[in-house]
């Protein structure tokens, strides 16, 4: 399971990870995008960190909704709407919850993925964050079906996400600015997929360090 306190800790850790890797994200985006993914994500999650103290007495759904609104209003380009949609769909799954069991987490991952696919009009293989979020969702679900605990299932999800991220490198981008490059987008790791991977890895780090 994942507690409300771990959700807050996750957001803080993810914000620090984004800050630490901001330049790398920007470099990845410079190759096939607008060179602003790292800057935009860092700006959005810096704002999230200023809200963390106010989240203490909120349920998980309210936290996710606040995160969604903040990201949509503060992150430019496609990242704000996509990450905002992910957290907004997550909020709909977690109404009035202070603790998430594995089935809740599976539902959250699925709802978030579906939201991103609908908002971005993207599919698996388009060289986007979907190529990271989809295998992670499947791996977590399989872990749950095999009665693996939360940490174990998240480890499977993060491993699948990492492989999905590597798999974006030889892909031709089919969405966003990168799609204009055609075959020239081959050989570059997707920046949105990279930040999505770090989002999931940050969650694992928090849950693994604090137990389930």
Predicted confidence (pLDDT) at residue 168 exceeds the cutoff of 60: yes
Determine the Cα–Cα distance for residues 200 and 182; give it in Å rounded to an integer: 29
Q: What is the CATH number of the domain that holds 7?
A: 1.25.40.340
Determine the Cα–Cα distance for residues 82 and 103; give it in Å rounded to an integer: 23
Q: Which of 208, 169, 205 is nearest to 17 (CA)?
A: 205
Q: Is 83 helix (H, G, I), strand (E, B) or coil?
A: helix
CB-based contact 37:79 (threshold 8 Å): yes
What is the helix (H) or strand (E) element at residue 16, kind and residue range? helix 4-20
Mean pLDDT of 45-67: 95
Confidence of residue 125 (pLDDT cuts 50, 70, 90): confident
Query: Which string of DSSP letters, residue by residue, matches 163-193?
Result: HHHHHTTTSPP-STGGGGGGGGGTT---HHH
Q: How many domains does the chain have?
A: 1
Determine the Cα–Cα distance for residues 204 and 27; give it in Å rounded to an integer: 25
Determine the Cα–Cα distance for residues 203 and 210; give it in Å rounded to an integer: 11
Mean pLDDT of 190-205: 94
What's the token pair of residue 46? 């810096």
What is the helix (H) or strand (E) element at residue 2, kind and residue range? strand 2-3
DSSP state of 88: H
Predicted confidence (pLDDT) at residue 207 exceeds the cutoff of 90: yes
pLDDT at residue number 175? 59
More confident residue, 212 or 101: 101
Q: Is the dihedral of CA 184, 196, 25, 165 positive or negative?
A: negative
pLDDT at residue number 119? 92
pLDDT at residue number 117? 95
Mean pLDDT computed over every residue of the chain: 88
Predicted confidence (pLDDT) at residue 172 exceeds the cutoff of 70: no
Q: What angle do CA 105, 6, 78 make, to 5 degrees?
A: 65
Tokens 């809200």 locate to 51
Q: What angle do CA 149, 154, 125 make, to 5 degrees?
A: 140
> Residue 44's domain spans which residues?
2-210
- pTM exceeds cut of 0.75: yes
Confidence of residue 212 (pLDDT cuts 50, 70, 90): very low
Determine the Cα–Cα distance for residues 184 and 103; give it in Å rounded to an integer: 41
């Amino acid at each position: 399971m994942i507690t409300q306190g771990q959700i807050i800790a996750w957001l803080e850790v993810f914000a620090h990870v984004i800050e630490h890797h901001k330049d790398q994200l920007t470099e990845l985006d410079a190759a096939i995008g607008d060179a602003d993914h790292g800057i935009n994500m860092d700006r959005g999650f810096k704002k999230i960190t200023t809200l963390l103290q106010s989240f203490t007495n909120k349920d998980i759904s309210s936290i996710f909704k606040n995160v969604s609104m903040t990201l949509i209003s503060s992150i430019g380009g496609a990242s704000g709407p996509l990450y905002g949609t992910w957290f907004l769909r997550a909020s709909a799954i977690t109404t009035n919850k202070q603790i998430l069991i594995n089935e809740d987490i599976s539902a959250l991952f699925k709802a978030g993925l579906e939201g991103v696919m609908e908002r971005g009009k993207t599919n698996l293989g388009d060289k986007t964050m979907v190529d990271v979020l989809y295998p992670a969702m499947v791996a977590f679900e399989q872990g749950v079906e095999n009665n693996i605990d939360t940490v174990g299932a998240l480890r499977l999800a993060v491993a699948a996400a990492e492989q999905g991220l590597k798999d974006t490198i030889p892909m031709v981008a089919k969405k966003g600015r990168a799609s204009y490059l055609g075959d020239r987008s081959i050989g570059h790791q997707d920046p949105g997929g990279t930040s999505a991977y770090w989002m999931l890895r940050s969650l694992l780090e928090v849950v693994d360090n604090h137990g389930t």
